[in-house]
Amino acid sequence: MPLDYPIHRRTLPNGLRVVVSPDHTVPNVTVNLWVGVGSRHEQAGRTGFAHLFEHLMFQGSRQVRSGEHFEALMAEGGRLNATTWFDRTNYFETVPTGALELALWLEADRHGHLLDAVSQENLDNQRDVVKEEKRQRYDNQPYGNALIDVYAAVFPEGHPYHHPTIGSMEDLDAASLEDVHAFFRRHYAPDNTVLTLCGDIDPDTGFALVERYFGDLDARVQDPRPPLAQLEPLTDPVRVERREAVPNDRLHVAFRLPVDESDELVAATVALDCLGGLSSSRLVRRLVRREQTAVGVHATAWGFVDGVSLGFVVLDVAPGSDPADLEAALVEELERLAAEGPTEAELEASVAQSERAWLSALASQEERADLLSRYTLLHDDPDVVNTHLDRVRAVTADDVVAATRRWLDPRSRAVVAYLVPDAADEEAVA
């Protein structure tokens, strides 16, 4: 049975898609915008630009001085931020109902008129801030660059998902004011944006307010290319090995998966749950509990829209164990899952955990707004919020077998290994 969160949608003449989902339990409204631009749209030599650009959106616009967006909303009890991902950039704030119009005014000013205020000084400053973000979250963290290696190993050179959202230091250095202007003109437009209001607001009032503040923004003729064709699984295993000062050996075993919002991706996600996504998963039972050769096993699937998604299993190798043995065990369990399928208990656990996670996400007004924007922008269907769980519940053991055979074939794996340096190597260096 589908959930029944109320969803109202309308498209303004300039192409802005607006979703309103009333919920009067708390005197707050979440304003959430998804812009259809992420790192997958970046050009060679300008990786990391979508994210750097997101930072500039807080540095002032036509009627708003640098830093004022944060200050003005926080002083009214707003909690806000923005993030950049492969397929999109999102901007969001949750404000007391009385501050909703201020939030819309601030958002409309930067989404419509950012370029009036962009300066070389702001660009240089935020470039430095983003480089510190990269150092803090990637370069100065154990295994911090492992997923970047995964993207490069799984997706071919030049593919939209081959490079990470954070980009490279060289490309960040190369970003110019002209790039900022061109990027804004190309991607930031009402007809490439979804705006969701979730919370203490009625649909008519919500639509009228959005029209008042965003109605004047100009549509820009766009000719987005259609999504790329589905990328087939890797035909031969790929291997990347790094020896670094990490606390223990860690393997990332990654696969190409079917695109977001396909039945096959839902089935492949259940397959990854059975393998390593739950604490009762077969790899957890075998490697963590029984053989105790791993200190942790995790599995994840990320849905993307441009022709392929990503799935990966992370194996944290226990001290004294051989990573090759863990990889062999993973291959064996993949083959067993493909041959025998999941048990009734595994299926039931996967569905029950998906249900709790989904309902927990929807319990928060902020996350509900974010999901409504997501499914509107990427799939033109906000109602997925209400129907997603039915799709998960419909997955059968046969679906899991089929998805495992097609997408999780051991020959299609990419392995990124971060290994503790050999004692012999260390002596040689010393």
- Interface residues for another protein in 283-312 (CB under 8 A)? 285, 288-289, 292, 295-296
Helices 120-134 & 49-56, crossing angle to 10 degrees? 120
The stretch among 70-78, 148-156, 232-240, 256-264 that binds another protein (CB under 8 A) is: 70-78
User: Quick check: 205 binds another protein (CB under 8 A)?
Assistant: no
x/- mask, another protein, residues 160-189, rule CB under 8 A, reads ------------------------------
Give kind and range of the element (H or E) at residue 304: none
| Cβ count near 13 (within 10 Å) | 9
Alpha-carbon distance of 129 to 166, in angstroms, equals 12
With respect to another protein, which residue has the nearer C-beta, 131 or 413? 131
Task: Pick the piece of the chain touching another protein (CB under 8 A) from 42-50, 219-227, 240-248, 298-306.
Answer: 240-248
Taking the least distance from each CB to another protein, the nearer of 130 and 194 is 130
Q: Does 329 participate in binding another protein (rule CB under 8 A)?
A: no
In degrees, rounded to 5, the angle at the alpha carbon of residue 343 between the alpha carbons of residues 339 and 346 is: 120
- Determine the residue type at 122: N
Q: What are phi and psi of 112, to 5 degrees?
A: -100, -35
Q: Specify whether 54 is catalytic.
A: yes
Binder among 42, 149, 306, 316 for another protein (CB under 8 A)? 316
What distance in Å separates the CA atoms of residue 146 and residue 164, rounded to the nearest whole number?
Answer: 11
Distance CA 417, CA 308 (A): 23
Outline where DSSP puts E strands in 308-419: 309-317, 414-419
Contacting another protein (CB under 8 A), which of 11, 26, 170, 232? 26
* 21 lines the binding site for another protein (CB under 8 A): no
Q: How far is the CB of 328 from another protein (least distance, A)?
A: 21
Per-residue x/- track, 124-163, another protein (CB under 8 A): xxxxxxxxxx-xxx-xxxx---------------------
**Burial profile 246-277: b = 16 or more Cβ within 10 angstroms, e = fewer:** bebbbbbbbbbbbbbbeebbbbbbbbbbbbbb
Site membership for another protein, residue 213 (CB under 8 A): yes
Q: Does residue 247 interact with another protein by CB under 8 A?
A: yes
φ, ψ at 276 (rounded to 5°): -155, 10
Site for another protein in 37-66 (CB under 8 A): 58, 63, 66
Considering only residues 88-127, where is the footprint of another protein by CB under 8 A? 94, 96-99, 101-102, 104-105, 108-109, 124-127
197 binds another protein (CB under 8 A): no
Catalytic residues: 54
